[in-house]
Amino acid sequence: MGRLTNWWRSRVLERERKRFSTQDWDLVRERLPLLRRLNSAESGRLEDLALLFLRDKHLEPVQGLELTDPMRLTIAVLACMPILRLGLDWYQGWYAVILYPDEFAPEREVMGEDGVVWVEQTAKSGEAWEQGPVILSWADVEDSLKSDGYNVVIHELAHKLDLRDGVANGCPPLHAEMSAPAWKAAFSPAYRDLCRRVEAGEETSIDPYATESPAEFFAVASEAFFERPGPLVQAYPAVYAQLEAFYRQNPLGRS
């Protein structure tokens, strides 16, 4: 069965590679400083995953956005960075990426503590639905190409990993060799510390948006893990260690 799977994968990749030119790939590599940390084997694996991602997921532009091949590859490469060592199976159960030209504001009914219901519209750069699509603003994808700690694609795909067990609580399904108590012992005090620092008006090493919830802390910490691992490990070494074990990658070791 393994040989058959490898044969099928090779045939699929051979076909998918023909869809994109060398110039497309060169443009993506040039625009993504994040990729320069990878060795040749990792780069090849990431590019294969990106092609399989594009075969598996439908990229759907809306509001007049026109997708070019380099744009498709950029989204796929960034989406596959978190699963470089995990595999595409971790993205099972959903099939679409919806792309807006800029921030979008979905309408939602919200009920207050007094029982009053109102319609809320909040501008968003990205969103991940359980068993539904990932929604992204292309303008924010472009802002994610600077390796400055902000990466909306990695952020939303981290939410997707978190949602694999049906709830976004900041703890994705862990590998058998990992420990849920150890995860909590790393993340809970770090989350409280960040909340305290933000409330006190202090400078923080990761985006203060992480204080919104434990789920957002995980997603923002994942952005930092791949984009700015040095400041993350200095501020929260136990969180870095847990992310290293979960993603099975060590970005610091690539620098």
The answer to whether residue 1 is domain-embedded is no
Same structural domain, 105 and 196 = no
The answer to whether residue 200 is domain-embedded is yes
Distance of CA 191 to the CA centre of its chain: 19
The answer to whether residue 132 is domain-embedded is yes
Query: What integer pLDDT is reported at residue 254 of this predicted model?
Result: 64
* Maximum pairwise Cα distance, the chain: 60
- Whole-model pTM: value is 0.90
DSSP character string of 217-248 = HHHHHHHHHHH-HHHHHHH-HHHHHHHHHHHT
Question: CA dihedral defined by 90, 127, 151, 19, rounded to 10 degrees?
Answer: 60
Same structural domain, 25 and 120 = yes
Candidates 131, 159, 158; CA nearest to 247 is: 158
Same structural domain, 123 and 181 = no
| Distance between CA atoms of residues 106 and 63, nearest Å | 14
| Distance between CA atoms of residues 190 and 201, nearest Å | 16
pLDDT tens for the chain, 255 residues long, are 456 577 778 888 888 899 999 999 999 999 998 898 899 999 999 999 999 999 999 999 999 999 999 999 999 999 999 999 999 999 999 999 999 999 776 555 555 566 655 445 576 677 888 888 999 999 999 999 988 889 999 999 999 999 999 999 999 999 999 999 999 999 999 999 999 999 999 999 999 999 999 999 999 999 999 999 999 999 999 999 999 999 999 999 864
Same structural domain, 21 and 81 = yes
Beta strands in 10-66 (DSSP E): 58-61
Same structural domain, 136 and 186 = no
Same structural domain, 139 and 40 = yes
Domain count, the chain: 2
Query: What integer pLDDT is reported at residue 230 of this predicted model?
Result: 95
Q: How far is CA 29 from CA 39, 125, 131, 150, 179, in A?
A: 13, 23, 31, 18, 36
Same structural domain, 127 and 188 = no
